[in-house]
Amino acid sequence: MTGLDPGRLAPPEGFRRTARRLERAGFEAWGVGGSLRDTFVLQLLGDTVANPPEWDLATDARPDEVMELFRRTVPVGVSHGTVRVLDGDEHVEVTTFRRDVETDGRHARVVFASSIEEDLGRRDFTVNAIAWRPASGHVRDPYGGLADIESGILRAVGDPGARFREDYLRVLRGFRFAGRFGWAVEPGTDEALREAVDGLAVLSAERVREELMKVLGDPNPSAGLDLYATRGALAHWYPELLGLAADRGAWLAALGAVDAVPARELKVRLARLVVSAADTPEGRAEVAEALLSRLRFSNADRRHVTRLSRLFLPFVGPTDSAAEHRRWLASAGEAWEDVFALHFAGARAEEAERAEQAERYLEATRERVRREWLDEPPLSLADLAVRGDDLIELGMSPGPLVRLLLEELLEQVLEDPGRNDRARLLGEAGRLIEMGVLTEASRPGGGSGGPPAGDEPPGSDA
Ligand code: ATP
Ligand code: MG
């Protein structure tokens, strides 16, 4: 065993100052949780963990004592013991030692405790139950978290079944940590995870969503997401993914494509998962709607992911005409680059030779589409050089046929942007009215050229 290298324990100055001040006032100040875990992981694996550790501080000082001691504080969660101490541009979350006295699977009633040992005892996994006191250099690791990190094992603190029943979020956190670091789940912990998944139903949508977004923010979300599937955790919050997950090959391919989306594009990653779960644009949109509503995503996020899921296919190719590219842009609007990102991720997830070919194909397509987009051609009814009122002045009665005629004109303008000239469009409209082609029979599907490709104007999510 290597052991933790003390030279690596390098919290930011704000944390150090806060700890020193607490110690001078007679309190204990410990670095705990993710910071110790991530520091040791970094030591063992090098810089494969994307984010530098976040340093949380645990102390025996009570929240009111912390607020008295520091000039600038924010009571972010005083009832469960957390005060944010502001230090220049930095801030430190300072939490009083705690002990759970009552839990119901989603909330805990905590009381303040007097020792770091008690505090570590309520933490979820051994790897998260390590503490270090800068003032003395002492490391507390009562559950063997450092050894587990070194062996690559995720293990619950204490009786795993009991720990998950206290707070079912730990189940999802476990998937995330094991997936993020590629750890094996210790057999007893694993069995308890499988037994606890039904309890996920008691969690709030917000906590489940935040967990999902943290997994999606990892360099390779596939490992964590696969644990959701193999441990039976999809049923309550992600039923739309069950069919996909049942086909092992398709599921792993879908996860590979999620990994291939850049990590900062969380919503595109989510859409990439969704598009594999249904076969039609409507089906994909329904999956997105259902999943994101259940997880209470914001309306904007739900609309965006639904829109990307719907737009995924049919797609354009490099040999399509410029007019076809414009028609596609007319339906995709601002989302067009994200739709390309979905396809690029699918291509990158293919095997080497096919990946290269597929990427070249997509690059060629994107180049042409981008050129059209940068030309800023008219793409929607709002961009037309004529309005509905103009057509009514030409003698049309107000009603749905006005919109239909505008759509016919837009179709012509998408074909050739040079036709977006007021006099010319009015002439064309007059001709069409005279020909009488705009009868009920010319509604979508019924004749004269049809509506523009894509059945929604840019910016709409309907
Ligand atoms: P990350 O910040 O990368 O998500 P983390 O381990 O720092 O990982 P936080 O949510 O910041 O996670 O929590 C800090 C610490 O608090 C954890 O390391 C763990 O010791 C403890 N903790 C957090 N949530 C729970 C929980 N639901 N049950 C028990 N302990 C928890
Ligand atoms: Mg943290």
For ligand 1, what atom is nearest to the CA of residue 35?
Answer: 7
Cβ–ligand 1 contact at 31 (below 6 Å): no
Is the shortest distance between the CB of 128 and ligand 1 below 6 Å? yes
User: Which residue's CA is the nearest one to ligand 1's atom 14?
Assistant: 33
User: What is the spatial distance between Cα 419 and Cα 385, in angstroms, rounded to a whole number?
Assistant: 9
Residue 313 pLDDT more than 70?
Answer: yes
Last residue of a domain, one of 353, 374, 395: 374
Measured from the CB, is residue 180 less than 6 Å from ligand 1?
no
Cβ burial of 24 (10 Å; 0-12, 13-18, 19+) is: exposed
| Cβ–ligand 1 contact at 56 (below 6 Å) | yes
pLDDT on residue 448: 42
Q: Are residues 333 and 354 in the same domain?
A: yes
pLDDT at 76 over 80: yes
The answer to whether the CB of 156 is under 6 A from ligand 1 is no
Q: Which atom of ligand 1 is nearest to the CA of 38?
A: 3
The answer to whether 285 and 316 are in contact (CB under 8 A) is no
- State the pLDDT at residue 50: 57
Kindly state whether residues 436 and 367 are assigned to the same domain. no
Could you tell me if residue 123 is inside a domain? yes
Q: Are 160 and 192 in contact (CB under 8 A)?
A: yes
Question: Which of 106-110, 317-321, 334-338, 388-392 shows the lowest mean pLDDT across its residues?
Answer: 106-110
Whether ligand 1 lies within 6 angstroms of the CB of 54 is answered as yes
Could you tell me which of 396, 420, 405 has the C-alpha nearest to residue 451? 405
Q: Is 406 helix (H, G, I), strand (E, B) or coil?
A: helix
Centre of ligand 1 from the C-alpha of residue 290, in Å: 29
Q: Whose CA is nearest to atom 11 of ligand 1?
A: 34
- The answer to whether residue 450 scores a pLDDT higher than 60 is no
- C-alpha 58 to ligand 2 mean position (Å): 13
The number of the ligand nearest the C-alpha atom of 177 reads 1
**Quick count: other Cβ atoms within 10 Å of Cβ 356?**
13
Q: Residue 409 domain-assigned?
A: yes
Q: Is residue 203 assigned to a domain?
A: no
Name the nearest CA neighbour of 184 among 155, 219, 142.
155
Task: Give the number of other CB atoms < 10 A from CB of residue 90.
Answer: 14
| Atom from ligand 1 closest to the CA of residue 180 | 3
Ranking 100-104, 121-125, 235-239, 311-315 by mean pLDDT, the lowest is 100-104
Ligand 1 contacts CB of residue 167 (under 6 A): yes
Probe ligand 1: pick from 128, 148, 207, max atoms within 8 Å of CB?
128
If you average pLDDT over every residue of the chain, what do you get?
Answer: 93
Q: How far is the CA of 54 from the centre of ligand 2 (A)?
A: 6
Most confident of 4-13, 274-283, 430-439: 274-283
Q: What is the model's pLDDT at position 460?
A: 44
For residue 176 and ligand 1, the question of a CB distance below 6 A is answered with no
Helix (H, G, I), strand (E, B) or coil at 407: helix
462 pLDDT exceeds 70?
no
Do 345 and 375 contact (CB within 8 A), yes or no? no
Q: Is residue 54 part of a domain?
A: yes
Q: Mark whether 420 and 354 lie in a shared domain.
A: no
- Assess if residue 297 is contained within a domain: yes
Distance from the alpha carbon of residue 264 to the mean position of ligand 2, in angstroms? 18
- Per-residue pLDDT reduced to its tens digit, 145-191: 999 999 999 999 999 999 999 999 999 999 999 999 999 999 999 99
* pLDDT score for 47: 64
Q: What's 101's DSSP letter?
A: E
CB 66 within 8 A of CB 59: yes
Average pLDDT over residues 297-324: 97
CA–CA distance, 341 with 359 (Å, rounded to integer): 11
How far is CA 172 from its chain centroid? 15
Per the CB < 8 A criterion, the answer to whether 113 and 100 are in contact is no
Which string of DSSP letters, residue by residue, matches 274-293?
HHTT-SSHHHHHHHHHHHHH
In which residue are the tokens 């990892």 written? 218
- pLDDT of 86 higher than 70: yes
Question: Looking at the structure, do residues 366 and 390 belong to the same domain, yes or no?
Answer: no
Q: Are 326 and 413 in contact (CB under 8 A)?
A: no
Closest CA to 263 of 226, 211, 217: 217
pLDDT confidence of residue 48:
59
Name the CA radius of gyration of the chain, rounded. Answer: 29
Cβ 85 vs Cβ 92: under 8 Å = yes
Q: Are residues 243 and 387 in the same domain?
A: no
**Ligand 1 within 6 A of 169 CB?**
yes
pLDDT bracket for residue 107 (50, 70, 90):
confident
Does the pLDDT of residue 139 top 90, yes or no?
yes
pLDDT for position 456: 44
**Confidence at 49, pLDDT banded by 50, 70, 90:** low
- Tell me which residue has tokens 């050229």: 449
Q: Is the dihedral of CA 270, 272, 278, 283 positive or negative?
A: positive
Query: Ligand 1 atom 8: the closest Cα is on which residue?
Result: 34
215 C-alpha to center of ligand 2: Å? 13
Residue position matching structure tokens 């609309």: 303
Q: Do 289 and 220 share a structural domain?
A: yes
Minimum mean pLDDT range among 65-69, 372-376, 449-453: 449-453
CA atoms within 13 A on the CB side of 134: 27
| 398 shares a domain with 367 | no
Nearest to 306 by CA among 281, 340, 343: 281
Name the residue type at position 396: M
In tens, the pLDDT along 387-442 reads 999 999 998 889 999 999 999 999 999 999 999 999 999 999 999 988 876 654 44
Pocket perturbation via mutation, ligand 1, pick of 123, 176, 183 by most ligand atoms within 8 A of CB: 123
In angstroms, the Cα distances linking 382 to 72, 362, 452 are 52, 30, 14
Residues 261 and 324 in one domain: yes
What b/e sequence results for 160-182 when a residue is b if at least 16 CB atoms lie within 10 Å of its CB, and e otherwise?
Answer: bbebbbbbbbbbbbbbbbbbbbe
Distance 32 CA to ligand 2 centre (A): 9
Q: Domain boundary at 339, 374, 409, which?
A: 374
Whether the pLDDT of residue 452 is over 50: the answer is no
Indicate whether 431 belongs to any domain.
yes
Give yes or no: residues 291 and 355 share one domain.
yes
| Three-state secondary-structure class, residue 329 | helix
Query: Counting beta carbons within 10 angstroms of the beta carbon of residue 187, is it exposed (0 to 12), middle (13 to 18) or buried (19 or more)?
Result: exposed
The vertex-307 CA angle with 209 and 265, nearest 5°, equals 50
Domain-embedded: residue 459: no
pLDDT tens digits, residue range 188-223? 999 999 999 999 999 999 999 999 999 999 999 999
Q: CA-CA distance, 218 to 216, in Å (whole number)?
A: 5
This prediction's pTM = 0.91
Same domain for 369 and 391?
A: no
* C-alpha span between 339 and 317 (Å, rounded): 13
**CATH code for the domain of 61:** 3.30.460.10
pLDDT of residue 53: 85
Q: Which residue has its alpha carbon closest to ligand 1 atom 15?
A: 33
Closest of 148, 112, 114 to residue 130, by C-alpha = 148
Residues 328 and 264 in one domain: yes
**Closest CA relative to residue 125, chosen from 96, 97, 166, 153:** 153
How many domains does the structure of the chain reveal?
3
Ligand 1 atom closest to Cα of residue 166: 28
Residues with CB under 5 Å of ion ligand 2 are: 34, 54
Range of the domain at 420: 381-446
In a domain, 171, yes or no: no
119 and 232 both lie in a single domain: no
Q: Is 101 exposed, middle or buried (0-12, 13-18, 19+ CB in 10 A)?
A: exposed
Last residue of a domain, one of 111, 135, 151: 151
CA angle 460, 392, 395 (to 5 degrees): 145
